[in-house]
A and B are shown apart, each in its own frame.
Chain A
């Protein structure tokens, strides 16, 4: 993968130097998405062992602040992204929904690990586990693993940044879907 074109993507637009400063030509949407993608504040939320890997990703060795994720918030009202790090049980589902509803738009969701993706090891014969967090809230990026390594979570976070930079978001997908529906 050519990192220079993805992770180190330059500011979107062209700078034309002029006397006494410069002129920037860009699209406002691109600038907004660029800003959003580089300052994603995650919610402090972990329901099982995936949370340990998430903490490791936040720690010095993997250090997600290199990509703009260091401002973990303990309140959903200040968070942009919720990383569902762990098993979601039936009793936790309404809490997760409420946390998501309390987050301000635009908001993003990463399903980390097998449990958050599909219920994972609790898929069969359980009396308590939700079989995938996407039964409760919409998910932007899924990460495989049980639990995923910090590298995998970093990859997911960078993938989310790419998605935001390219303008991909839930509302836009809905609009496209409706257009297709009308064409039919």
Chain B
């Protein structure tokens, strides 16, 4: 499907989606609570078949966090970006590790670096950071290096 066709199809199946313009891919913004249902649909529905989650990351906007999922279909050859806004004080979103297996490690990484809680994740613990690190999130904008800190 072309981007325009994708956008039309998505608007039909999921009315609460909003779209951001600009860029190579279409950006769909979804409420965090509805992400799981949308993800299942995107993976399984015959006209989407997004079988490959090729990027899962998070952005700290200081006022809130945004989860960003890059999806593509190896059969239908179309791509999509889904974003979900999270509360910075209590970031929580359902896991998609059961839909795209690759998300298991990516979500662990976002968990340790941004502190996002992925509900339903099978094994949510630190991935790269040393043991006992819990409670500090290095990729958040307000993270301070205890030894050498400069503020801009």
Binding site for B on A (CB under 8 A): 90-91, 123-128, 131
Q: Which residues of A have CB within 8 Å of B145?
A: 124-127
Main secondary structure on B side of the interface with A: loop
Among B129, B130, B149, the residue within 8 A (CB) of A125 is B149
A124 and B149 within 8 A (CB): yes
Instruction: Pick the 6 closest A-B CB pairs, nearest first.
Output: A127-B138, A125-B145, A124-B150, A124-B148, A126-B145, A123-B148
Minimum CB–CB distance for B81 against chain A, Å? 28
CA distance A124 to B144 in the complex (A): 10
The size bracket of the interface on B is 10 to 19
Contacting pair A127 B148 (CB below 8 A): no
**B147 proximal to A (CB < 8 A):** yes
How far does the alpha carbon of A126 sit from the alpha carbon of B144 in the complex, in Å?
Answer: 8
Contact with A along B101-130 (1 / 0, CB 8 A): 000000000000000000000000000111
Chain B residues near A123 (CB, 8 Å)?
Answer: 148
Chain B residue numbers with a CB within 8 Å of A128 are 138
Cα of A32 to Cα of B74 in the assembled complex, Å: 65
| Residue B19, interface by CB 8 Å | no
Given A124-B148, A126-B145, 9 more A-B residue pairs with CB atoms under 8 Å apart are A124-B145, A124-B150, A125-B143, A125-B144, A125-B145, A125-B148, A127-B136, A128-B138, A131-B147
* Residue of B whose beta carbon sits closest to that of A125: B145
**Chain B residues numbered 133-152 whose CB sits less than 8 Å from any CB in chain A:** 136, 138, 143-145, 147-150
Query: What's the least CB distance linking B114 to chain A, in Å?
Result: 13
B129: chain A residues within 8 A (beta carbon): 127
Give Cα distance in the complex from A136 to B149, angstroms. 21
Q: How far is the CB of A88 from chain B (nearest CB, A)?
A: 15
A-B contact pairs, 15 of them (CB 8 A): A90-B130, A91-B130, A123-B148, A124-B145, A124-B148, A124-B150, A125-B143, A125-B149, A125-B150, A126-B148, A127-B129, A127-B138, A127-B143, A127-B145, A128-B138
Residues of A within 8 A of B148 (CB): 123-126, 131
Shortest beta-carbon distance, A130 to chain B, in Å? Answer: 10
Cα A178 to Cα B145 in complex, Å, equals 37
Residues of chain B in range 53-107 having any CB-CB distance to chain A below 8 Å: none
Which residues does chain B contribute within 8 Å of A131, judged by CB atoms? 147-148
From A127, which residue of chain B is reached at the shortest CB distance?
Answer: B138
Q: Which of B14-68 contact A (CB under 8 A)?
A: none
User: Which A residues are in CB contact (< 8 Å) with B128?
Assistant: 91
Cα(A128)–Cα(B145), bound, Å: 9
- Which residues on A sit within 8 Å (CB–CB) of B147? 131
Closest Cβ of chain B: how far from A89's Cβ, in Å?
10
How many whole Å from B19's CB to the nearest CB in chain A?
35
Report the separation of the CA atoms of residues A90 and B130 in the bound assembly, to the nearest whole angstrom: 9
A124 to B136, CA, bound (A): 17
Name the CB-closest residue of A to B137: A127
Give complex CA distance A131, B145 in Å: 12
A129–B74 alpha-carbon span in the complex (Å) = 38
Alpha-carbon distance between A126 and B148 when the two chains are bound, in angstroms: 8
